[in-house]
Structure 1
Amino acid sequence: MASDDHRVPDVEWVALKSAFVEYPKGDMIGRVLAYICLSPILIFSGFVTLILFRRDLHTVLFFVGVVGNEFVNLILKHLIAQPRPDHRSTGMIDYGMPSGHSQFIWFFAAYVAYFVFVRLHHINNNTTLEYFWKTTIVFGSFFVAILTSIGRVYLQYHTWQQVACGMLLGIVNGSIWFALVHFAFTPYFPYIASWRISEFMLLRDTTLIPNVLWFEYTNAMRESRTRGRKLVSMKSQ
């Protein structure tokens, strides 16, 4: 009878551990920090979802910056070649300087802070509610960044020096990339949106729209009412 195992005996199988995070058994703090350390994966997935459904040029460039930041981290890890703590081996790249999680999450937090208080400054109505939500978004981003950095040390994936270096690089890279997008690239968004390839991919520029969610909601409701009236009119004929 033929065996159901079709694996080639001479092939070595390696587990994909990019999303694998360990924590001490029974340690609730470690468990919570392990889940928080998965935030870069959730953010990355969120970017892909936003780009597919929103097609906004600023979101696309934000994502490009995130990917570029990751490449910088990989290059630095191979150049510096500093190992992780002796008792921690990930089965992947055993280099820990700088911390990739720390660099990722601090890039994201820094960019979000600039986006909220600089990019959205021109639509600020100085209302208490609006200021509250802006502060909450920025505070939440930095809070997750701090917990992620602490988690990488607590779970013994990195040293404090590796995490601090990742944090510094993330903030610097996020600041530089936001400056490039805001001052150098944004003025060309209307021109880029008019390209044939942009029209084909449904890419759009929403820079001058104060509240995109409200704009899309009102337009969708207006179109729905118009189509509803047409449908009623056709049925009555």
Structure 2
Amino acid sequence: MADVEWKPFSLTYVEYPIGDVIGKFLAVVSLAPLAIIVGFVTLILFRRDLHTITFFTGMLLNEVINLIMKNVIREPRPVMRTGLYTEYGMPSSHSQMMWFFASYSVLFFVFRLRHISNSLVELLWKVAVAVTVLCIACAVSYSRVYLLYHTWAQVLCGTLLGVVLGCGWFTVVHLILTPVFPSIASWSVCERLMVRDTSLIPNIMWFEYTQARTENRARNRKLASIKSQ
């Protein structure tokens, strides 16, 4: 197969200057969108929650819009490299995805998690998570300019689009889709796939923990009564 032309998988292929510690760090940071995608797929497979599915659907739509705009605008990247998925750089897909995720997540913390509790610890936790998400989005956006994959204009355009689409998709999900989640969860196909609606449960992790603990105690009592007979 010596005559076969090989091409790197651009989703995980990031170049940085040799010996540049900051460039190496930013190259790793720029893989955050891939980690987010893997996280979403894992959550959907194991939790099968309608809100997680719709959130991920919005991110896929965001990527489709980015791809369409790139092929319409057709603005080249500042430095052309071999093996890139697309030769066009306007707008930056990394920036657009990260700011879609960040804006949607911040709105989720503000409007969907506000009823969990009013404690100071809960407020500080939400603020810390929101700030962390925003900082990661900023770092990914900056990495695309630092590593010469995009210009500042391409990154800023992607950022603006990501924020607008993230806020818009959250509005659609929060006001239009969430009220019909119970009906969707009752569809036969959703029941077969065990797709569920947990939007009315304030703290799903605590709920699942207490449910599992209660069920485990009940089964232990039943097992003990059987052994005593």
Question: Is TM more than 0.5 here?
Answer: yes
Matched, 1:62 2:55: yes
Whether the 8 Å contact between 1:88 and 1:156 is mirrored in structure 2 is no
2: CA distance between counterparts of 1:136 and 1:148?
A: 18
The Cα RMSD (Å) is: 1.3
Matches within 5 A, 1:163-202: 163-202=155-194
Gaps of 5+ in 2: none
Structure-2 residue corresponding to 1:140: 132
Q: Percent identity?
A: 52
Q: 2:225 aligns with which of 209, 216, 233?
A: 233
Offset, 1:17: 2.1
Whether the 8 Å contact between 1:102 and 1:170 is mirrored in structure 2 is yes
Matches within 5 A, 1:79-228: 79-121=72-114, 123-228=115-220
Deviations 1:1-38 (A, max 9, x none): xxxxxx4x665333322211111111111111111100
Name the TM-score, length of structure 1 as normaliser: 0.93
Whether the 8 Å contact between 1:66 and 1:104 is mirrored in structure 2 is yes
Larger radius of gyration: 1
Matched, 1:13 2:9: no
1: CA distance between counterparts of 2:223 and 2:54?
A: 41
2: CA distance between counterparts of 1:184 and 1:40?
A: 27
Whether the 8 Å contact between 2:190 and 2:196 is mirrored in structure 1 is yes
Offset, 1:172: 0.3
1: CA distance between counterparts of 2:135 and 2:179?
A: 32
1: CA distance between counterparts of 2:141 and 2:11?
A: 17
Gaps of 5+ in 1: 1-6
2: CA distance between counterparts of 1:18 and 1:43?
A: 13
Q: Which amino acid aligns with 2:9?
A: L
Structure-2 residue corresponding to 1:3: none
Whether the 8 Å contact between 2:90 and 2:157 is mirrored in structure 1 is yes
- Change in CA separation of 1:210 and 1:86 when aligned onto 2, cut-off 3 Å: closer
Offset, 1:125: 2.4
Name the TM-score, length of structure 2 as normaliser: 0.96
- Change in CA separation of 1:75 and 1:157 when aligned onto 2, cut-off 3 Å: same
Offset, 1:90: 4.5
- Change in CA separation of 1:161 and 1:90 when aligned onto 2, cut-off 3 Å: farther
Which 10-residue stretch deviates more, 176-185 or 12-21?
12-21
